[in-house]
Structure 1
Amino acid sequence: MSNARSFMVLAAVFFLFIGACTYTVNAIQSIEHGTRIAYALKTDQDRKVKAALAVPGEETYTGAAIVNIIRSIQENDMNVEVNGVLYIRTGTYENFDPSRVDLSKKYRATYERDAAGSLIKIVFRG
């Protein structure tokens, strides 16, 4: 009787061990599969073209659009220069004098960026 009992306990432990091994292998395969999917998604994002201009040339803005850009320089964290007049991002909109910007005139835009590619300043020339 004791041999049968020992055999039953041994069989139960063996099946528990096989079940635990199978569960571990499935968990490792799931983690590996998820890692491969995440890697594939990340590499595809890095290879995409982010933006392309349809027509080559300089961008032009009206004076009214420039006034709106200057109004939002604190939110965008950048400086704006219009025909040599610098509007810094730490300035307040209440101190901004819109009479210096001709609202009906067209301005060409030049962008200045830092080493990381972040926009520092937009320079408008009329």
Structure 2
Amino acid sequence: MSNARSFMVLAAVFFLFIGACTYTVNMIQSIEHGTRLAYTLKTDQDRKVKATLAVPGEETYTGAAIVNMVRNIQQSDMNIEVNGILYLRTGTYEDLDPSGVDLSKTYRATYERDTAGYIIKIVFRG
């Protein structure tokens, strides 16, 4: 009877050991699969971001584009300055006189930002 009981305990321990090993192998495979999937997703995302970024350069605008921006200034959250003339976004439509903008010229743009990084003023120089 003692031998039968020892054999049953040994069989139970053996099956528990095999079950624990199988569970461990499955967990390792799941973690490896998740890691590979995360790496693949991150790699594709990284590649897309690098493909769409442009090298920063000097932006130029035509006089007509600037006049259009000045006329629609109330819809934006920034002020516009053209060759020293300041157009405020809080001004009325009648006060906005973009006659000082030469339509045939191109202007270089520089941006002034607040501490959060939002554009508060665009400065155009011709």
Would you say same fold, with TM above 0.5? Answer: yes
Task: Count residues with an aligned counterpart.
Answer: 110
What residue ranges of structure 1 are gaps of 5+ in the alignment?
74-78, 88-92
Flag the structure with larger Rg. Answer: 2
In the superposition, the TM-score normalised over structure 2's length comes to: 0.57
* Alpha-carbon distance, 1:72 to partner: 2.8
The answer to whether the 8 A contact 1:62-1:105 is kept is: no
Aligned-partner Cα distance in 2 for 1:113–1:49: 27
**2:51 maps to what in 1?**
49
Aligned-partner Cα distance in 2 for 1:105–1:46: 43
- After the TM superposition, which residues 10-29 of structure 1 pair with which residues of structure 2 at under 5 Å, given as runs? 10-29=10-29
SS in 1 for 2:122: strand
**What do you get for the CA RMSD once the two structures are aligned?**
3.7
* Alpha-carbon distance, 1:63 to partner: 2.6
**1:35 maps to what in 2?**
35
Q: Among the aligned pairs, what percent are the same residue?
A: 53
Q: Aligned pair in 2 of structure 1 residues 122, 41: CA closer, same or farther (>3 Å)?
A: farther
Poorly superposed stretches of 4+, deviation over 6 Å: none
In the superposition, the TM-score normalised over structure 1's length comes to: 0.57
